[in-house]
Structure 1
């Protein structure tokens, strides 16, 4: 596997945090769940926003014991797991959400960001395509798709450059790397 640019992986992780923060602050999933918002959801979201991910995870776990099919609680739990660095647990939680509620774009998006950070770009692209199928107006998924496609373009240009060192390939590669470099 070719080495992907760490700065773009960091940008994807930042995109995930930005997407999660927007969802947490709004404390909703796909608009349809906004009406189902409860005090518990708001408390967990507030704990996450305050940086108390462990408390949020404990609260979400307790609340899910009472209402295990609550997608908003499941999503909050996944975000708490992610904030605690429990990437595998967060990915499992998000995968379960995509299976149970495929119409919700946010879990697809966040799972895609995790996969992209792991260098699993093809899978990330497919997950983002599903997020955009669920919600074509989801700006974060569009941004994340652009990041993944840029990483894929760099990967392909690196392969082309290794196979045949051509000036135009090298120039394209340098231009893309400059584009994704942190500013």
Structure 2
């Protein structure tokens, strides 16, 4: 009976750690969130959920290379989890590496066909890839009468206007999944 009580308390303590890191992140206290995540990970280095949160924090801090490394490591060590692939794709897309972003999102969708965020992000990546292709067609054939209007329409409807300020949501506006983190042995939707 005591073992069951201890396990329940340990589970609650771990859940509190995730909640604490998430709260600090939402408050914009990313340095504190990262410190708390790193301390937790030092004791439980194989915990995918806290490592995922750490990647989100690094993204919020603008540390793209470190965040990319964190999500790549998660995809290698926990290839069954779709969320790290989604966030990795958001980082690739932010660097205009749309082919890599597409591949990561397709993997996320294979792992979880009901992952709506990954489907939406894949649509956004396809829009960017289409714009690149139409632009390239224009470069190769200056008088191309069909590529120009398609590119103009994509730019008008889908691509961000230069004067628009970024969303206050930070990483969420990049298509990164900040609302959930994978748990060991599970694959939550979002």
TM-score range relative to shorter protein: 0.7 to 0.9
Aligned to 1:116: 93
* Rounded Cα–Cα distance in structure 1 between residues aligned with 2:51 and 2:113: 23
2:54 is aligned, of 77, 94, 99, to 77
Structure 2, unmatched stretches of 5+, are 1-11, 162-190
How far did residue 182 of structure 1 move? 4.0
* Rounded Cα–Cα distance in structure 2 between residues aligned with 1:36 and 1:63: 11
Which protein has the larger Cα radius of gyration, Structure 1 or Structure 2? 2
**Is 1:168 the equivalent of 2:146?**
yes
How far did residue 176 of structure 1 move? 1.2
How far did residue 38 of structure 1 move? 1.4
* Rounded Cα–Cα distance in structure 1 between residues aligned with 2:44 and 2:86: 24
How far did residue 168 of structure 1 move? 1.4
* Rounded Cα–Cα distance in structure 2 between residues aligned with 1:136 and 1:166: 38
Structure 1, unmatched stretches of 5+, are 1-34
* Rounded Cα–Cα distance in structure 1 between residues aligned with 2:124 and 2:159: 12
**What is the DSSP-based 3-state SS (H/G/I as helix, E as strand, rest coil) of the residue aligned with 1:167?**
coil
**What is the DSSP-based 3-state SS (H/G/I as helix, E as strand, rest coil) of the residue aligned with 2:136?**
helix
Kindly report structure 1 stretches of 4+ aligned residues shifted beyond 3 Å.
Answer: none
Aligned to 2:34: 57
Which one has the bigger helix percentage? 1
2:136 is aligned, of 134, 153, 159, to 159
Alpha-carbon RMSD across the aligned residues, in angstroms, is 1.8
> How many aligned positions are there?
150
